[in-house]
Amino acid sequence: MNDSLAVIERPQAANSTEFDAIVIGAGISGIFMLYRLRELGMAARVFETGTDVGGTWYWNRYPGARFDSESWTYGYSFSRELMQEWDWNEHFSPQPDTLAYLNHVADKFDLRRDMQFSSTVTAAHWDDAANRWTVTLESGEQAQSRFLCTAVGILSAHTMPKIPGVESFRGPAYHPARWPHIPVDFTGKRVGIIGTGATAIQAIPEIAKQAKQLTVFQRRPNWAAPLHNSKIGKAEMEAIKSRYDEIYAHCASTPMWFIHQADPRKTLDVPPEEREAFWEKLYAEPGFGIWLGNFRDIGVNEEANAAISDFIARKIRQRVKDPKVAEKLIPKDHGFGSRRVPLESGYFETFNRDNVLLVDTLNDEPIERIMPRGVKTSKQEHEFDILIYATGFDGVTGAFDRIDIRGTNGVRLKDAWADSPRTYLGMLAEGFPNMLMVLGPHTARGNIPQAIEHSVNFQTGILRFMQQHGYTRVETRPEHVAEWTETVIKAAEKLLSSKVDSWQTGVNRNVEGRSVRRVLGYNGHGVHFRRTTDQVATGGYQEFAFR
């Protein structure tokens, strides 16, 4: 941890278009990247589509939006002062608090003066002769830089459903990732929501409390488990603050950098009664424990997975009064934890309300089209005042695909990654010199802010090394890209999640060419990833080619 905000910043004219580094995105990644670039004395400019900082937490303002991870593990750890002065109000921070936190960080370190908002990057082209990037904004404005830092997020390219008539609905229609900045009033309204992923599972209970009628269009159900959120009192927050070193060190030792550590036992080695008692305990505890703190083989062994899936299914049957509705809410096509597990606050009980209707669009009532007044299914027309498309994102590579990024010889990143991304550590791509990716494909993720900090620290370590040696250009070496790509693909092979369609396996049928599964993340142990990056750094970055 390092508090020092250095240093030798190069003075930069306000209207300059020449930078040492351009950062795309002012979310958690872009904020921290800018902070570190400044420490290196680099002139940097952040371009951001939104009107302010926050990224995911700027856009996703839908009711119920909050962390599914413990707030006190989900902040930055680079500044002790920041950690000690910020009080989290809830164990799982609601979106407005998180956005306030990110604004606080931007203010504290005076970051906004190097950020340009309402500025969508549409293209970034590498000029091999000049050794620099030219970045183009939607406005036509251009800027140049030696380094391009992509801080575009893994879930920022939201997708609308491919349903005929989507544009024809007459009332207000929202995607949660483009939620209005003033709260939507659902009082007395008939509301339809399409999609039942993590987003909808947070939003549905909140909307149901207000709306006159809420109709949920579910294509495939998702397994979900209770969040058990609660407030954090003053004394508790002080106790957390006193343990931050210990908490972050513990997270760094777990597979996905969360507080949760898998139980070393194998599911079927544990007697059934003991298993049940363990699962009851996990189900009653806050957070991802039921998923990430479970027996170590639930994500790889079919039989073990069937046992935990059966336990969660029984919970759903207990919580949902109408057995037919309960059955519809229980996934049959994939096991518990093989897609990202949404955490919920009263989601299943919401279907016991008189004003909530579940429509199973896979088995009972396929959606045929969106109409001016609502949604037409094979059976009827459902009329609505408000429609919500909680239909997700083109995950991980989607945000890259939306920018015309071209590397050496004019090769487009989208073409280079058409079948599958190829990177070294998920941080540099072959043929794209001086492009540093935070949360790029094939990197370690899990606890996102901790992954971001690790990644930015490693990447700015490369930049520092370059400064020390007078290098101006860094590239991956093909053999290391090949080796890393193979490592990543191998690590995913044994996982049950690799056999399931989801944004994590790169499937989104609302996007052309995205119906085939791909490996998009590094699924090895977080400790292994840290060790690998540490070895590369201490070894003098020999895996990279410098000029």
Kindly state whether residue 397 participates in binding ligand NA7, applying the rule CB under 6 A: no
Interior/surface letters 112-148, b for 16+ CB within 10 angstroms, e for the rest? bebbeeebebeebbbeeeeebbbbbbeeeeebebbbb
Q: Which is nearer to ligand NA7, 195 or 441 (CB)?
A: 195
Q: Which is nearer to ligand NA7, 337 or 431 (CB)?
A: 337
Of 107, 138, 142, 162, which one interacts with ligand NA7 (CB under 6 A)?
Answer: 162
Q: DSSP string of 62-120?
A: -TT-B-SS-GGGSS--S-HHHHHH---SBSS-BHHHHHHHHHHHHHHTT-GGGEE-S--
What distance in Å separates the CA atoms of residue 461 and residue 536, rounded to the nearest whole number?
11
Contact status, residue 201 vs residue 68, Cβ threshold 8 Å? no
Query: Residue 332 CB, nearest distance to ligand NA7 (Å)?
Result: 12
- Cα dihedral sign, 76-342-335-288: positive
Minimum separation from the CB atom of position 303 to ligand NA7 (A): 25
| Encoded tokens for 312 | 């969660």
Residues within window 220-239 making contact with ligand NA7, judged by CB under 6 A: 220
Q: Which is nearer to ligand NA7, 278 or 503 (CB)?
A: 503
- Contact map string, positions 189 to 208, toward ligand NA7, x by CB under 6 A: -----xxxxxxx--------
Q: Select from 25-33, 309-317, 385-393, 485-493 the region that touches ligand NA7 (CB under 6 A).
A: 385-393
Nearest CA among 309, 76, 319, 56 for reference residue 199 = 56
Binds ligand NA7 (CB under 6 A): choice among 392, 398, 431, 521 = 392
Residue with smaller CB distance to ligand NA7, 72 or 217? 217
- Residue of 295, 503, 522, 529 interacting with ligand NA7 (CB under 6 A): 503
Q: Which is nearer to ligand NA7, 392 or 449 (CB)?
A: 392
Residues 358-377 binding ligand NA7 (CB under 6 A) are 361
CB of 456 to ligand NA7, least distance (A): 20
Closer to ligand NA7 by CB, 27 or 392: give it. Answer: 392
Put the strands of the sheet holding 386-389 in their side by side order.
173-174, 386-389, 190-194, 213-218, 356-360
What lies within 8 Å, CB to CB, of 351 at 6+ separation is 216, 320, 322, 325, 329, 358
CB-nearer residue toward ligand NA7: 163 or 403: 163
Nearer to ligand NA7, 342 or 431 (CB): 342
Q: Does residue number 219 form part of the binding site for ligand NA7 (CB under 6 A)?
A: yes
**In residues, how long is the chain?**
547
Under the binding rule (CB under 6 A), the answer on residue 510 touching ligand NA7 is yes
Q: How far is the CB of 176 from ligand NA7 (least distance, A)?
A: 6
Residues 283, 284, 289, 294, CA torsion sign: negative
Nearest to 92 by CA among 222, 202, 273, 229: 229
Query: What is the distance between the alpha carbons of residues 388 and 206, in angstroms, rounded to a whole number?
Result: 13
* 114 contacts: CB under 8 Å, gap ≥ 6: 12, 34, 38, 44, 45, 46
Token look-up 């989607």 returns 398
Residues 142-161 that bind ligand NA7 (CB under 6 A): 155, 161
Assess 216 for contact with ligand NA7 (CB under 6 A): no
> How deeply is 32 buried, as exposed, middle or buried, from its count of CB atoms within 10 A (0-12, 13-18, 19+)?
buried
Collect all residues with Cβ–Cβ distance below 8 Å to 249 and sequence separation of at least 6.
none
Stretch that binds ligand NA7, among 23-31, 224-232, 391-399, 406-414 (CB under 6 A): 391-399
Angle among Cα 526, 528, 532 to the nearest 5 degrees reads 120
Q: Which is nearer to ligand NA7, 88 or 217 (CB)?
A: 217
Find the part of the chain contacting ligand NA7 (CB under 6 A) among 279-287, 386-394, 463-471, 475-483. Answer: 386-394
d(CA 167, CA 173): 9
> In terms of CB distance, is 359 or 463 closer to ligand NA7?
359
Q: Is 311 in the site for ligand NA7 (CB under 6 A)?
A: no
* CA 61 – CA 32 distance, rounded (Å): 22
Choose one: 107-115, 124-132, 188-196, 271-279; the region binding ligand NA7 (CB under 6 A): 188-196
Cα four-point dihedral sign 438, 444, 448, 452: negative
Number of residues that bind ligand NA7 (CB under 6 A): 21
CB of 158 to ligand NA7, least distance (A): 8
> By Cβ distance, which residue is nearest to ligand NA7?
197
- By CB under 6 A, name the binding residues for ligand NA7: 155, 161-163, 194-200, 219-220, 340, 361, 390-393, 503, 510
